[in-house]
């Protein structure tokens, strides 16, 4: 009779021993979605400059850019106006220069001057 007590005692001792938890997976669960790629930092918005008019006089050159009259040397929306020509305006943004042009249909001529 001693043996059955020993067996129950051994079983009770085994039941009190800590067993590491095992994570059971559900076989019906769909596979995990792949990790989303890290989003790139959004690019800063580029300013848009639009030349609406250019006026060249003997002593002054001016242009209307984005609704604002500017002359050579002025700054507008982060750009410096370097040069105003009859059909283009040259601006500097950072270390880069860009040429802005009037569209052909926006160029107006004096009615007495032949094309």
Q: What is the pLDDT of residues 10-19, one digit of tens each?
A: 666 666 665 5
Q: What is the pLDDT of residues 90-102, one digit of tens each?
A: 999 988 999 998 8
CA pair distance 63, 56, nearest whole angstrom: 8
**Tokens representing residue 112 in the block:** 């007495």
CATH number of 51-106: 2.30.30.830
- Rounded to 5 degrees, what angle do the CA atoms 92, 97, 101 make? 95
CA pair distance 34, 26, nearest whole angstrom: 18
Predicted model pTM: 0.52
Quick one: which of 95, 68, 71 has its CA closest to 82? 71
pLDDT, one tens digit for every residue, the chain (115 residues): 555 555 666 666 666 665 566 777 777 888 777 777 777 666 555 678 889 999 988 889 999 998 899 999 999 988 999 999 988 999 999 889 999 988 766 556 666 666 5
2: phi > 0 → left, psi -120 to 50 → alpha, else beta; which? alpha
Q: How far is CA 113 from CA 44, 86, 109, in A?
A: 45, 15, 7
Query: 89 with 98: CB under 8 angstroms?
Result: no
Q: How far apart are the first and last CA of the chain?
A: 125
């Amino acid at each position: 009779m001693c043996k059955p007590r020993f067996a129950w005692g051994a079983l009770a001792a085994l039941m009190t021993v800590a067993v590491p938890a095992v994570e059971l997976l559900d076989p019906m669960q769909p596979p995990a979605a792949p990790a989303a790629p890290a989003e790139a930092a959004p690019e800063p918005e580029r300013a848009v400059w639009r030349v609406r008019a250019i006026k060249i006089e003997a002593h002054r050159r001016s242009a209307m850019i984005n609704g604002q009259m500017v002359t050579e040397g002025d700054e507008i929306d982060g750009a410096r106006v370097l040069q105003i020509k009859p059909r283009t305006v040259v601006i500097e943004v950072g270390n880069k220069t860009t040429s802005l042009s009037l569209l052909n249909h926006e160029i107006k001529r004096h009615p007495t001057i032949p094309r």
